[in-house]
A and B are shown apart, each in its own frame.
Chain A
Amino acid sequence: MAKRNNLGRDIKRHSVCYFMVAPYMLLFLFFILAPILIAFVFSFTDFNMVQFPPDFSGLDNYIRIFLEDDDFLIALRNTFVLACVTGPLSYFACLFLAWFINELSPLLRAFFTVCFYAPTISGTLYVMWGFMFSGDQYGLLNNLLMNLGILSEPYQWLTNTESMLPIIMVVQIWMSFGSAFLSFVAGLQGIPRSLYEAGSVDGVRNRWQELFYLTLPSMGPQLLFGAVMQIAAAFSIGATITALMGYPTTDNAALTIVTYISDFGSIRYEMGYACALSFILFVMIIAVHWVVEHVINKYASA
């Protein structure tokens, strides 16, 4: 009883705080949190936008997804292939490039930071890659390879099943130097010089030892933030695919869970199914992040 009174008084004493966070928290609840819950709830229904309330269908959607839907397995495979390549690759590319430019003069550092961050700022410029990989002779890559005599006729980069995933990887890596990269650059700048002085007294010999024994362990928070951003991005590949290769792609060779969700969500209007797919993607992202978070925490605190 006394405890509840304390809580009441505590809430009352901080009423101004609640008023200040209320506008944001309401928007957050409505636009970010509620959709996750809705995806979960509607994934057990056959909602189709017309019939409301929809019929409860139990685990039907999930059973269909995992046991009957061959396209989902393709999407799952592609999503994992893309995430497993672009996620780690972009994470370490961000880290090493940030490390490389860290010791340049401020002007050079700023120049390279702008170069690497520019694709993130320019939003939809990735459509330009469509011209580079264009399948006709005007495609720049085709033209180059034909001039060099490597190809004798134009190669259909954007519609041949073998070349689609690699091209998406290239484009995704190109646009992956976002917030994670900036936080690495800034984090490296913030490491006190005294740490390195102490390290060299303790016998740190070369730059790699410096990186692995001194620099990275003291960047724990940035490493965690970077992991969040790159994991979220690596599992959300979809818009670039649709823009460059259209939907559906040849033999579904570039089908990912994200493009599959928008197929059910905005073409077939099978919302229950789309919600189940969204929730599966959500669980996948959370699970991968959970593992990565533990690895980084272990490393950074060791």
Chain B
Amino acid sequence: MSKVKAAAVVAEPKKLKVRKRQKEAIARTWWGNFFVFLFLGLMAAFMLLPFYYAIVQSLKPLEEIFAYPPKFYVVRPSFNNFRSLGILTDSLWIPLSRAIFNTVFVTLAGTVANVVISSLAAFPFAKYTFPGSRFMSTLITKALLFTGAVTAVPQYLLMAKTGMINTYWALLGPAVAGPMGMFLLKNFMSQISTTILEAAELDGATIPRIWWQIILPNVKPAVLTLIILCFQSLWNMTGGQVIYEEKLKLLPTILNQISASGIAYSGAAAAASVILMLPPLVFYIVVQSRVLETMAHAGIDK
């Protein structure tokens, strides 16, 4: 330990601030630090720009939306856009509440189904070897590459032939079958010590019981991560490819119809974006440390 410190001091005699926190690592030069923070700051500003703009635009009263030159801040904030969003959607053929219900229902049902079905399957793959298990779990890992862009058309054909178009199944099926959650859970579960499982088996616990009483409580961070991943993808789903019936349409689709109506509605469109982005964002911020804990095991071993 002291040797390392000495080496670091010899190599770079000036670094003090950073090294207080990270005693073992070699610290950056001061200009290195300067550029890192400058770069991080600029990148963060770039990332947050559309968020800032959406919020500012959603709070602008009508005269400020039309004001020229356009301002990057709001002078007299008002919630008029949110109110006019309500009025705009009142004139829809199907009430907005129905679209909200659709999205909430699909999000909840899909998330629960994904967590239950994926965790049920992830346990045997993570902890047991049975004929075909190696092949199946490799296949699932490879399937991370099978993007929606590739499967969209044949998936549509399959759904059309089985009568799933214009039903919730067309939205839920692909979401629940997605390999990401399964992959994360499997990796996380394989970290659990096998001796605990063997002890439980000696005590006569069945595999489903071990899953319920030992595995699930031990993979809470991974389950939370899976919930947030499912939540965000289902919540943002437009379903435009497979849902044509008005009363089954999802919230993002309805709100997109509003934003497509030009600058007069750009305030309402921004308000819609703000409403849509808040739930997953707040949810993520609350559970973010658990997400990172899970992602530490998101690796593909050779």
| Chain A residues with a Cβ under 8 A of chain B | 7, 10-11, 13-14, 16-18, 20-25, 27-28, 30-36, 38-39, 42, 47, 49, 97, 100-101, 103, 105, 110, 112-129, 131-132, 136-138, 140, 143, 147, 174, 177, 179, 182-183, 185-187, 189-190, 193, 196-197, 200-201, 204-207, 210, 219-222, 224-225, 228-229, 231-233, 235-236, 238, 258, 261-262, 264-266, 271, 274-275, 278-279, 281-282, 285-286, 289, 297, 301
Contact = CB atoms under 8 A, between A and B. Distances in A.
A114 B211 CA distance: 32
Contacts, number: 319
B26 interface: yes
A20 B53 contact: no
Interface string B37-64: 0011001101111110110010000000
B121 A32 contact: no
Contact of A14 (B130, B153, B156): B130
Contact of A39 (B124, B150, B235): B150
Interface string B268-302: 01100100110011001100110111111111111
A224 B8 CA distance: 32
Nearest to B22: A103
Contacts of A28: 140, 143, 177, 179, 182
Contact of B70 (A97, A143, A232, A262): A143
A116 to B, nearest CB: 6
Q: How large is the interface on B (under 10, 10 to 19, 20 to 34, 35 or more residues)?
A: 35 or more
Contacts of A285: 145, 147, 150
B123 interface: yes
A17 to B, nearest CB: 4
A33 B297 CA distance: 25
11 contacts: A20-B124, A23-B121, A103-B21, A103-B22, A113-B292, A122-B51, A123-B280, A127-B269, A200-B7, A204-B26, A222-B299
